[in-house]
Structures are given as structure tokens and as C-alpha cells.
Amino acid sequence: MCANCLENAVHEEQQRDAAEQQRKAAEKQLQMRREFQESKGLMRVKFRVFRLDTFGNWESLFEEAASFANELSPEALINISHSAGDAIGSHAVTVWFWSKQIVEDTTE
């Protein structure tokens, strides 16, 4: 087999492997989304508020809110919002997320 032919064969195999990995990753992501959508019946919207007066400055406040948001799965995170007003304690960041509802077993 010529050197060019061998290089082409190796390159084609690498392309097939990469395409297969992408297909598997997309399939896994789709499955995770399906499972998340199916579980939404047991999901409830929750939030956590971070107030500026607790952290002292905006950067610390945003870092703490981001740290909490990073603990959530991407599917669970809904949004991050902030507010700033003239009243004391009105400067805040709110992290909105999905949380599983605890369902009590009432069967005996």
C-alpha cells in the first residue's frame, strides 16, 4: 500500500471515529433531555437569593451566586436575575432552578 493511501485510510478512520463519538454524545444529550423533560412532573421551580449587604461588593455577590449556579446541572438552571434599588437590601442576585419535589409515599 502506498504511503498516501495509508495516510488517507488512517484519516478516514479517524473521521469515522470522530463522527461516531459526536453521534454518541448527541444521543446521550438527547436522552438526558428526555429524562429531564419526563421528570418535570415531579419538578418544582426554586430560587436562592444572594443579597449585596451580606457580601459587601457586587463582585463577591456575583461570585457567590455563580458558585451556587455552577453546582446545578445545566438542565436544572433556569435563569439568574439581579435587582438594584434605593432601599436597603434591594441589591440582590437570584438564581432560579428546577428542583425535584419530594413525594411522600401514602400507600400502606
Dist. CA 82–CA 95, nearest whole Å: 9
User: Is the entire prediction scored with pTM above 0.85?
Assistant: no
- Please choose, from the candidates 95, 80, 84, the residue with its C-alpha nearest in 3D space to the C-alpha of residue 58: 84
Q: What is the pLDDT of residues 26-44, one digit of tens each?
A: 898 888 877 777 765 678 8
Give the pLDDT band of residue 67 (cuts 50, 70, 90): very high
Task: Please enumerate, as own/partner, the contacts of 63-67 that have beta carbons within 8 Å and a separation of 24 or more.
Answer: 65/93, 65/95
- Does 46 have pLDDT greater than 80? yes
Q: What is the pLDDT of residues 94-107, one digit of tens each?
A: 999 998 865 454 44
